[in-house]
Structure formats: C-alpha cells, structure tokens
Structure 1
Amino acid sequence: MKTPKIIVLVLITFISFQTKAQQKLDHAIWDQILLINVSEDGKVDYKGFMRDSSQLYQYFTYLSDNPPTASWSKEETLAYWINAYNAYTIKLIIDNYPLKSIKDIKDPWGRQFFKINGVLHSLNELEHKILRKLGDPRIHFAINCASFSCPIVWNRAFTASNVDNALETLTKNFINDPKRNTITEEVVEVSKIFSWFKKDFKVDGEDAKAFINKYSTVKIDKQKKKGYKKYDWSLNE
C-alpha cells in the first residue's frame, strides 16, 4: 500500500520543523571553543581564540542565520543573546589585539561591527535593547566586558536547559567573589554594576541591597563602611 502524497508532505514538513528547532538550540561549537580557550576562573586566551578563528566564525554564521523568533522560550532566547554578547565581545578584542583594555578601542560598545540576520548591531544594542528588556537582572553576571572587574567568562555555552541554573550560580559566585565585591561584617564595597544598573535590581519592590543579600553569605546590614569598588578595566587574560 502506497503512502498518500499528502501524508508524506506532512511528515517531511514535521521532520524539517523538528530539525530547525533542534538547530536553534545547538551552541556546541561555542561550547567547544570556550572549553579550550577559557580557564575555570575566567581567564581568556585571546591568542587561542585567534588560532581557532575558523570555528569561531562558523559560530558567528550560525548566530547570524538563526536569530530568535517569537516561538522561542525565554530560556532559549536568553541563552542565545548571552552567548551572542560574549562571542562578539571576543571578536571585538581579537580584531583589535593586542591591547591592554577594551577601553583602548574607540567606542567599543557603541560601534556596529557584526550582523545578525543581515542587520548591523552593537554590543550596546544587545545589552540595553534586548537582554535587559528580558527582565532578568542575573544577566549582568553572565555577560562579560573583557575586563578583570567584570563577571568571569563562563567556559561553557548557555543553553535553554542550563541557563537558569547557570545564571543562579554565576550570580552567587560573583557576589561572593572578594576580588569583585567586599562584603564583611565591617565593610561593604560592591561592584559598580550595582550602581550602573540599580534599576534592574528593583525586582518585586526590592532594591540592589535585597538582591545582594539573597546571594551573599554575609548580609549587608549595619556595616560601618559602604561604597563601590574601583573598576579594573584591564584585559581579562
């Protein structure tokens, strides 16, 4: 008995849809490059990324050809844009390497130097017009500005299945990292991230202090000294 043509067409369409759905979640190339070129503590081997540039540019092509759509879940969308931000930051650095700081580049966050779906974008657009509008302040501890005082570069790719747990872990690790925040019974000096983006941490009527206390092993209460740590913009290599 022959299968009717209409059923065959439906099956082909369904398989094609499934394949595309699976492809949009595939950040395997980025995951592999990160594992090779980023240490557990977030030190980046930019020369290594330059050696692996063919794989890196394959990933850029993947990002450009597979932008998020309205059908994607929030987790899928978050993973895509965080990976994109970090990958294109790496591109910005290796395109201008060697340098001592991302600030050695003229207007590093405002320059439009990469395309997604044929449209030129800047890192500022990804951060302020897309990622921050997704309403999850934990993104500030997952995206990296190639500098020592930034949250570390996670040496794995974000995916829909790991992004929530990863954001939770990275946020807790950043807040309790004495190199980036000093929170003791006597002194509080936190990252300027909590000043620059204070509006983002006002979740459910709380503020940045409440957000920090949710993750900090030492709670901010009656410490004698409070302020912000000096931000170190030296390259994170």
Structure 2
Amino acid sequence: MKTPLYIITLITLLYTQVHSQTNFDHSTWDQALLLNVSEEGKVDYNGFMRDSSQLYKYFKQLSQNPPQENWSREEKLAYWINAYNAYTIKLVIDSYPLKSIKDLEDPWGKKFFKIKNEWHSLGDLEHKILRKFGDPRIHFAINCASFSCPVVWNRAYTGSNVNEALDTQAEKFINDPTRNTITNEVVKISKIFTWYKKDFKVNGGDVKDFINRYASVKIEKQSKKGYKEYDWSLNE
C-alpha cells in the first residue's frame, strides 16, 4: 500500500525542522575568517571592521539561535568556540586601535553581548560553558587576541569538523617553538598549562601526559622545566 502524500509531507517537514534545529550555519563566520585571518593566525582587524555588516549578521545569528537540547555535543561545542572567538574580535574592534586586549578594562568579565536575551562575558563562555565540556583541547581553539595564545584558525568550527580540528590545533600549538620549547634537556611550556592545570588532568594523566600525546619530542622525567613569558600584544 502506498504511503499517503500528506504523511510523506509531514515526515519531510518534521525532518527539516529537526535538521534545521541541530545544524547551525556558521558559513558567515567561516567567510569572515577566510578573508581576515592568515594561515599563520594573524588577524586583520581593519578587515573585520570593513566587513562589519557580515560580522554583525553572524552575531545576530548567534544571539537568536543558541544551542538546543537536541543538538549533538559536537554542534554545541563548535557553537560556543565560534561564539567566543567572534565576540573576542568584536571586543577588540569596538576599541581599536589598541596594543593589547589587556589595555581594556576587565576584558573577560565585561558583559557586552546577548545570547537569547541574556548578557554574557567572554569569561562566562569560557568558565561556565566551554570548560564544563571536560575537553582540555578547547584551550587551543579559543583565542585571547594575543601573540602567545593559540593561533586563530581561519575556518569556522562545525559539528562535523570540531573533533579533528581540536586535535590539529592542540598538535600545532604544542609543537610551535614560539609557544612551547620542548627538547630532551630543557622544557619551557606555555603558561596555559599552569593556568588551567586541572583541566589537563584527564584519564588519570597530568599536563606532561597530555603534552606527550601531541608533542613530536616527548617530555622526559629528567627534563628541566619552566614556563615561557606570555606575550599579550595584539595578534595582528
């Protein structure tokens, strides 16, 4: 027996509704990143200001379409990482030019953007949402607009690419000699690994174990360890 047309139509409508609810379109942000962030992660803040209409279109999309319960973990994670990075760009260009994000008053505590009628700060997104995913790789994806931060990826995170991209970002950051120096004799790592030390204690391991998952040169027990100075100058 043939399925009645109205049932097929109803099923199609329900599928479209669910699909649209669980797949946020980050293409506007993706295009802005491709145009204004280099392969090395240098940011053209003037370019973002020239393309501000696209940027504000994305802010509107973020504000009106927060993650829903039926979104996958990956889709939620991608949404909040992109939101953090996009609103960091907004924070900078709203006061541009400046030499460092730390020249701003309380840059991570300032509630300057709304998502679904609720005011948020960058600190809210990082500490109340992103860190609660329990995935330390997020620290290599969110960017604080500074040279010692992990580089800004010039593509948008999505539900389909986020896991692979987080591994790539972690590997890139850990093996970048400007951010971490790892040799058989001396180890000087980013202060990110002390600021968020407890986040890297996953699966019974510690910071060293996490770094060694991605490092081309492994940290040995006898290595002399220290931390690099953090360069807060603007990543432009």
State TM-score, norm by structure 1: 0.94
Query: SS at 2:39's partner residue?
Result: coil
Deviation for aligned residue 1:223: 4.6
- Report the secondary structure of 1:77's partner residue: helix
Code of the residue aligned with 2:227 in structure 1: it is: Y
After TM superposition, the score normalised by the length of structure 2 is 0.94
Q: Structure 1 residues 222-231 or 133-142, which shifts more? A: 222-231
Per-residue CA distance 1:151-176 (angstroms, 9 max, x = gap): 00000000011000000000000000
Q: Give yes or no for contact 1:188–1:223 (8 Å, CA) kept in 2.
A: no
Superposed displacement of residue 10, structure 1? 2.6
- 1:189-208 per-position Cα deviation (integer Å, ceiling 9, x unaligned): 00000000010000011000
**Partners of 1:166 and 1:15 in 2: how far apart?**
28
Distance in 2 between residues matched to 1:21 and 1:219, nearest whole Å: 43
2:99: which partner in 1? 100
Match of 1:20 in 2: 20
Q: Does 1:202 align with 2:212?
A: no
The residue aligned with 2:147 is 148
Q: Is the 8 A contact 2:180 2:189 kept in 1?
A: yes
Cα distance between partner residues in 2 of 1:221 and 1:15: 53
What stretches of structure 1 of length at least 5 have no aligned partner?
A: none
What is the match of residue 117 of structure 1? 116
Q: Aligned pair in 2 of structure 1 residues 206, 50: CA closer, same or farther (>3 Å)? A: same
The letter for the 2-side match of 1:14 is L
**Deviations, residues 89-126 of structure 1 (Å, cap 9, x unaligned):** 00000001000000000000000000001110000000
Question: Which amino acid counterpart does residue 62 of structure 2 have in structure 1?
Answer: L
Task: Provide the aligned C-alpha RMSD in A.
Answer: 1.7
**Residues in 1 aligned to 2:228 and 2:83: alpha-carbon distance in whole angstroms:** 28
What does residue range 19-98 of structure 1 map to in structure 2 within 5 Å? 20-21=20-21, 24-98=23-97
Per mean C-alpha deviation after superposition, the further-off stretch among 132-141 and 12-21 is: 12-21
Distance 1:161-1:19 versus aligned 2 partners, 3 A rule: closer
The residue aligned with 2:214 is 215
| Displacement of 1:12 | 6.7
Deviation of residue 222 (structure 1)?
4.0
Shift of residue 21, structure 1, vs aligned partner: 3.0
Aligned equivalents of 1:12, 1:177: Cα separation in 2: 48
Counterpart residue identity of residue 59, structure 2: F
Give the partner amino acid of 2:58: Y
Change (3 A) 1:209 1:224: closer
SS of residue in 2 equivalent to 1:199: helix
Q: Would you say how many aligned residue pairs link Structure 1 and Structure 2?
A: 234
Query: Runs (4+) of structure 1 moved beyond 4 Å?
Result: 3-6
| Unmatched 5+ stretches in structure 2 | none
CA distance in 1, matches of 2:34, 2:5: 47
Partner of 2:152, secondary structure, is: coil
Aligned partners of 1:148 and 1:232 also within 8 Å: yes
After superposition, what is the alpha-carbon deviation per residue over 1:198-226, rounded to whole angstroms, capped at 9, x for unaligned?
A: 10000011000100011111111145421
